[in-house]
């Protein structure tokens, strides 16, 4: 299990793996302020919807690392700018809402407030880790030994609290001897699939084949793929799913070849306040991610660039949504609502 960050209680600093340097270098940052944590989230040093939420929660705690004049004001300010770093993934506002509720319920004494916030951040991390273990087990319920499974972007341990979402069943299959094989989309323009997913699956001992995004239809036509599994950054109440750009086109070619398309995500990723994918705000990122990827110019100066970081896959293209409560089937508006009710009633 590879976790993306740890909180050092003695020094009150966050030790965070810089994902932008993978796979060539494993470098751990020491983060001491909410401002530096916000920069790490914005610059994708930590990425993956669950990991972003966890990192931001610990970032709030860092607002009280040293004595301050107005503890609650500092916490409120940290929550505000951390929440604004990445607009699409629902785990971030979910985590910030929890930290805000804890802060509002605490007395003004700084260290008591910090302890309460730290306990909440650890609870968010612990709940995600438990959900990841269950996602892996439920994911294997829809897989058969020896299957070849295509995945997109990165959804492993360092995108979460250590177990992952869409990668969880692949890694668990290794432990259980099911022998699932992975095909990994490169995931342009930032290559999270080739840089991070292939790296993490290799560490886990999963047989892995890397392809570019544009090869997916071809390898399906050749019969090399048995199923597709992806993660999610936000799921609307009807099952429409926002995920890394390229997921929608992958879902279309998966349907064209008659293969199952699975989404694996904890229920904290479901935004029940958003009725459909039309209400999901899509983050747009800088043009130089496309024109000067990894420091090398790959496009002419002055060219217009459109660089959305995510797209939305309509629910009718999704075979099932794998959650920590089990495998949910269409109609998702009903199955997601039922899962929400199960959580509410304990």
Report the length, in residues, of the chain.
346
Same domain, 108 and 156: no
Same domain, 165 and 109: no
User: Which segment, 98-107, 218-227, 337-346, is predicted with the most confidence on average?
Assistant: 218-227
Q: What pLDDT is attached to residue 90?
A: 82
Read off the CATH number of the domain in which 181 is found.
Answer: 3.40.50.10470
Same domain, 211 and 74: no
- CA pair distance 202, 190, nearest whole angstrom: 19
Same domain, 162 and 285: yes
311 in catalytic set: no
| Domain extent for 268 | 135-344
Q: What is the pLDDT of residues 288-330, one digit of tens each?
A: 999 999 989 999 999 999 999 999 999 999 999 999 999 999 9
**320: phi then psi, degrees, rounded to nearest 5:** -160, 155
Boundary (domain end) residue, out of 132, 166, 191: 132
Same domain, 188 and 252: yes
Residue 322's DSSP bridge partners are: 264, 327
For residue 270, is pLDDT > 80?
A: yes
Q: Please, which pLDDT band fits residue 340 given cuts at 50, 70 and 90?
A: very high
Q: Please, which pLDDT band fits residue 182 given cuts at 50, 70 and 90?
A: very high
Q: Find the angle CA(173)-CA(162)-CA(76) to the nearest 5 degrees.
A: 150
Same domain, 273 and 315: yes
Same domain, 115 and 165: no
Q: How many domains does the chain have?
A: 2
Mean pLDDT along residues 111-122: 96
Same domain, 172 and 120: no
State the catalytic residue, choosing from 128, 185, 226, 233. 233
Cβ neighbours of 227 (radius 10 Å): 19
Q: Which residues contact 282 (CB under 8 A, 6 or more apart)?
A: 88, 242, 308, 309, 310, 311, 312
Read off the CATH number of the domain in which 58 is found.
Answer: 1.20.120.420
Same domain, 35 and 128: yes
Same domain, 128 and 159: no
Boundary (domain end) residue, out of 72, 98, 132: 132
Same domain, 71 and 190: no
Same domain, 109 and 37: yes
């Amino acid at each position: 299990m590879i976790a993306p960050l740890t909180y050092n209680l003695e020094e009150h600093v966050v030790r965070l793996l810089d994902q932008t340097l993978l796979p060539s270098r494993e470098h751990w940052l020491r983060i001491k302020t909410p401002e530096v944590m916000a920069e790490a989230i914005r610059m994708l040093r930590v990425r993956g919807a669950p990991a972003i939420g966890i990192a931001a929660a610990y970032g709030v705690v860092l607002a009280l690392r040293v004595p301050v004049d107005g503890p609650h004001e500092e916490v409120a300010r940290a929550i505000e700018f951390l929440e604004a770093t990445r607009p699409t993934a629902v785990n971030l506002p979910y985590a910030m809402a929890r930290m805000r509720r804890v802060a509002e319920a605490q007395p003004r004494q700084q260290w008591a407030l910090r302890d309460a916030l730290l306990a909440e951040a650890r609870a968010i991390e612990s709940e995600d880790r438990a959900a990841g273990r269950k996602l892996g087990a439920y994911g294997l319920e829809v897989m058969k030994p020896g299957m070849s499974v295509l995945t997109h972007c990165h959804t492993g341990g360092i995108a979460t609290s250590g177990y992952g979402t869409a990668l969880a069943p692949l890694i668990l299959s290794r432990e259980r001897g099911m022998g699932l094989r992975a095909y990994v989309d490169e995931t342009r323009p930032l290559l999270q699939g080739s840089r991070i997913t292939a790296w993490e699956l290799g560490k886990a001992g999963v047989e892995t084949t890397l392809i570019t995004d544009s090869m997916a239809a071809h390898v399906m036509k050749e019969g090399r793929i048995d199923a597709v599994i992806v993660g999610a950054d936000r799921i609307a109440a009807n099952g429409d799913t926002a995920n890394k750009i390229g997921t929608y086109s992958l879902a279309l070619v998966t349907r064209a070849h008659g293969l199952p398309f699975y989404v694996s995500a904890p229920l904290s990723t479901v935004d029940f306040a958003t009725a459909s994918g039309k209400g999901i705000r899509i983050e747009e990122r800088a043009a130089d991610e496309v024109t000067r990827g990894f420091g090398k110019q790959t496009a002419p100066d002055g060219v217009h660039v459109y660089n959305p970081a995510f797209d939305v896959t309509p629910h009718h293209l999704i075979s099932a949504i794998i959650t920590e409560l089990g495998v949910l089937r269409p109609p998702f508006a009903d199955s997601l609502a039922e899962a929400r009710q199960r959580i509410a009633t304990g």
